[in-house]
Amino acid sequence: MQFSAATLSRNEATATLKLAEQLGDGELCSFVAGKKLISTVLLNFCCSADILAIAYGIILMAAGSDAAVSSLSCVQCGKPAHLQCPKCVELKLPREGAAFCTQDCFKSSWSTHKSVHLKEKLSALGLGAPGEQNSASPNDGWLYCLKKGQARTPKLPHFDWTGSLRPYPISRRRAVPADIDQPDWAIDGIPKIEPNSDLQHVVEIKTPELIDRMREACQIAREVLDAAARVVRPGVTTDEIDDVVHEATIAAGGYPSPLNYYFFPKSCCTSINEVICHGIPDARKLEDGDIVNVDVTVYYKGVHGDLNETFFVGNVDEASRQLVQCTYECLEKAIAIVKPGVRFREIGEVINRHASMAGFSVVKSICGHGIGELFHCAPNIPHYARNKAVGVMKAGQTYTIEPMINAGVWRDRMWPDGWTAVTVDGKRSAQFEHTLLVTETGVEVLTARLPSSPDVFPWLSS
């Protein structure tokens, strides 16, 4: 961080340095106040009120008594503006859309205001606004995915791949009819309500009306996953599976929740072999001997239903069969203990015990989650032993349990697309997931298999 003697006094520089120490790794940006510019650290919105006050005080000191009264209005509340968004200044965006009266207004508007920056960045990359398709794509739009879905490239990225699997180009984002109810990230890729909700910290007790809606959404999600399971075979691409998921969801009146969620480019996740989770459907054809997880979430009547299963592709080796069956059993054993009064941390103990007895490991970096009107919320459900999850189960809570079990070590790496998590040793991984409702006497599996569900798991028919 650099300071100019002409801009900051000694006391102001000292205060700014102290602020920087408190903020740690915050993003380096510039705040504009009146005619003077201060280089300082952008608050990461997890700071205390005291730190916010210090930052605003530094800006006011730098402006001094001669600061001009802005003719612009705050984009959040309409009051006279005294500050400008530093990122907008950096990107040279119009001042009218970057003006704020106070830090409080800037902070409260951030979840929606930052979409302006993303649109500008994507435009500079030639990708258009978030949610728009790249009209200049070669090969009819098939490109490799980068930056969590925000960028594309015609070349396979350089990466130290951990296994034999490689990403393939992905197709354009599929359209959703205007009459389908859509979550708030559908257009610009940015969830607005979810990250700022109190339900990130408090486990919601669902009302009977909300539970009824969740039953509907979860049944649709189950039927959609079953439709995907029926097309899993050698020679089918994961993009074709995604098409089945997308069309089945739309036909039921739902929205595929993953689509454009933080810019995820597809309507479901397809995770093959060493991919632990969040694989992006692409042009690769499934091969005989693969295992593939299909993760489906449906948004319907304002709530989400989430589940996934791992399927065999053709003739699969015995080691992979044992891994997939063990993962299924881990989920079933975890569900069996769900009832009011049980601690959330006990789920991980049950899963870890069963997986380790079979010689497998449990992924620690990705957890189950609360679900309802929000896609992801409290509680976090770790799947490994000796975890620090707090809280106990209560009737009316809904959440997912979704253990990821590895044939080798539990650690993961991220592919260049920013979504695909793979095993560090290239060995295979499997996953199963259900959305659950805690009842007064136990548990209701909202995404349970139906009598019509395809018979794809040998251990269920033996």
158 known ligand binder = no
CA 390 to chain centre: 22
Side-chain-facing half-sphere of 269: CA atoms under 13 Å: 25
Structure token pair of residue 142: 């098939």
272 neighbors 320 (Cβ within 8 angstroms): no
304 known ligand binder = no
CA 309 to chain centre: 19
274 known ligand binder = no
Residues forming beta bridges with residue 292, ordered by sequence position = 272, 311
383 neighbors 368 (Cβ within 8 angstroms): yes
402 known ligand binder = yes
Task: List own/partner pairs for 8-15 with CB under 8 A and 24 or more apart.
Answer: 8/38, 8/62, 9/61, 12/58, 12/61, 12/62, 15/54, 15/57, 15/58, 15/61
407 neighbors 352 (Cβ within 8 angstroms): no
21 known ligand binder = no
Find the length of the chain: 462
113 known ligand binder = no
Residues forming beta bridges with residue 444, ordered by sequence position = 437
Side-chain-facing half-sphere of 243: CA atoms under 13 Å: 12
CA 339 to chain centre: 28
Pairing assessment for the beta strands 377-381 and 368-370 based on DSSP bridges: antiparallel
Amino acid identity at 364? K
Q: Which residues are annotated as a binding site for Zn(2+)?
A: 295, 306, 369, 402, 433
Q: Which residues are annotated as a binding site?
A: 278, 295, 306, 369, 376, 402, 433
Q: Which residues are annotated as a binding site for a protein?
A: 278, 376
